[in-house]
Amino acid sequence: MLKRLIDNHFKLAEHHTNVKTEVIAGITTFLTMAYIIFVNPSILSQTGMDYGAVFVATCVAAAVGCLIMGLWANYPIAQAPGMGLNAFFTYGVVLGMGYTWEAALGAVFFSGFIFFLLSIFRIREWIINSIPLSLRLGIAAGIGLFLAMIALKNAGIVVANEATYVSLGDLTEPSALYALLGFFAITAMAYLRVTGAVMIGILGVTALAMVLGHNEFGGLMSMPPSIAPTFMALDLAGAMDVAMLSVIFAFLFVDLFDTSGTLVGVAHKGGLLDENGKLPRIGRAMMADSGASMAGAVLGTSTTTSYVESTAGIVSGGRTGLTAVVVAALFLISLFFAPLAGSIPSYATAGALLYVAVLMAGSLSHADWDDPTEAAPVLIAALAMPLTFSIAEGIALGFISFAAIKALSGRFKDLNPAVIVLALLFAAKFLFLS
């Protein structure tokens, strides 16, 4: 009876799959993205947020997103708080701009709500099609470089220098050595197609540091910590400050393109696109993503988004939402491993961040380097993010440079109203609101 209900709801037979295959696919996807359980609390807790509460919020927000995606949209695509956006939340909005983490959560909620409205009224396609490919490539690469800078800084590999701004740190320090070892190991395992390479690298470095006396073991399992310190703590009024508009836009913009790109890419890998190359039920998938972001903000975590690591489950045979439901169950089980998460040092996650940065920076290979009017905005957006330590500023400078260079080159046909308006708004912000 239960098997028939599952088959009917997820249409397993129609997708030429079965419960066993979907469960294996779900486990595989979870192992490739479980590193977020350790990395997200490590990053967000630097804002002053309670580590244990963020750990719980991370697991629950991921589970909520996966359940909506699986049960409603019926896609084998997992969700969790996104890399890059969590770093922007901490280092850009809170530590950089000086806003409270409560106001930053409010900005995440508003961005999710706007994303939800865009999905309902089907405006998302117009926005996606209006943004030039070069800017999308530059933004993706810039987020990767931003993560790389954070990883190198956290490990002490890159340090401040009054004369040159930054310089090489002491590579004989344990934190630097462990971070580099983790990065090398993760990259090698990824090349060898080892499932869960990132998580294995994090746990391996942590265990090695414990054995050598550089880290303490806090335990393996316990009852989940309290989520009270972050639950419903978002400050919606604080997020309505005029200067926060660029922050909300950055959260929205990155999530919109990250989600759309991941959905189409993963669906293509799994043969889930229709005969016209489009993704059926994309509206539901987008609303699942935006709904999870709003739920995450209420729980106490940064923007929740679709994970490209879902491809691992697709390769393992996952074709329906049952895969995502299995991932959700595993995230909920992870709630009982809070002591282990608390034992993970920042240098153990630095290697993982650096590897994710490599993947994201790969988008630069798709840029048109033979056309300087396309290449220059890509480079500006990509470099501005790590050098200004802000995803929002990188996006703004990317739009301004694209519009200005195209206009001065007489390439007006490459400009559309959306790009022109956004470039003018960003320029006005720098001139009058900075």
pLDDT computed for residue 434 by the predictor: 58
Indicate whether 118 pLDDT > 70.
yes
Residue found under tokens 């265990």: 207
Indicate whether 94 pLDDT > 90.
yes
On whether the CB atoms of residues 313 and 25 are closer than 8 A, the answer is yes
pLDDT 10s digits, 364-391: 888 899 999 999 999 999 999 899 888 8
DSSP 224: P
pLDDT computed for residue 281 by the predictor: 81
pLDDT computed for residue 128 by the predictor: 67
Mean pLDDT of 331-360: 88
Mean pLDDT of 232-252: 90
- What is d(CA 118, CA 303) in angstroms, rounded to the nearest whole number? 16
Backbone torsion region of residue 301, taken as left when φ is above 0, otherwise alpha when ψ lies between -120 and 50, otherwise beta: beta
- What is d(CA 37, CA 281) in angstroms, rounded to the nearest whole number? 29
Mean pLDDT of 157-176: 91
Contacts of 168 (CB under 8 A, 6+ apart): 157, 158, 159
Could you tell me which of 288, 336, 340 has the C-alpha nearest to residue 61?
288
Q: Which amino acid is at 3?
A: K
For the chain, give the mean pLDDT. Answer: 89
For the chain, give every domain's residue range: 15-365
- What is d(CA 29, CA 13) in angstroms, rounded to the nearest whole number? 21
Contacts of 428 (CB under 8 A, 6+ apart): none
Weakest-pLDDT range from 17-21, 78-82, 259-263: 259-263
Residue 86 in tokens: 């969590």
- What is d(CA 124, CA 6) in angstroms, rounded to the nearest whole number? 32
Identify the residue with better confidence: 348 or 66. Answer: 66
Mean pLDDT of 399-428: 92
On whether the CB atoms of residues 277 and 320 are closer than 8 A, the answer is no
Backbone torsion region of residue 168, taken as left when φ is above 0, otherwise alpha when ψ lies between -120 and 50, otherwise beta: beta
- The CA-to-CA distance between both ends of the chain, in Å, stands at 63
Residue 240 in tokens: 């309505």
| Measured CA distances, 404 to 379, 385, 422 (Å) | 15, 19, 12
Indicate whether 276 pLDDT > 70.
no
What share of the chain in percent tops pLDDT 90? 48
83 pLDDT band (50/70/90 cuts)? confident
Residue found under tokens 């997992």: 78
What share of the chain in percent tops pLDDT 70? 97
Indicate whether 433 pLDDT > 70.
no
227 pLDDT band (50/70/90 cuts)? very high
Identify the residue with better confidence: 261 or 190. Answer: 190
pLDDT computed for residue 182 by the predictor: 94
pLDDT 10s digits, 168-184: 999 999 999 999 999 99
pLDDT computed for residue 334 by the predictor: 95
418 pLDDT band (50/70/90 cuts)? confident
- What is d(CA 243, CA 429) in angstroms, rounded to the nearest whole number? 8
Compute the C-alpha angle 208/83/106, nearest 5°.
125
Identify the residue with better confidence: 141 or 232. Answer: 232
Q: Phi and psi for 80 in degrees, rounded to 5? A: -170, 165
147 pLDDT band (50/70/90 cuts)? confident
pLDDT computed for residue 37 by the predictor: 94
Mean pLDDT of 137-158: 88
Identify the residue with better confidence: 216 or 315. Answer: 216
Residue 73 in tokens: 């949209």
DSSP 424: H
Say whether 301 sits in a helix, a strand or coil. Answer: coil
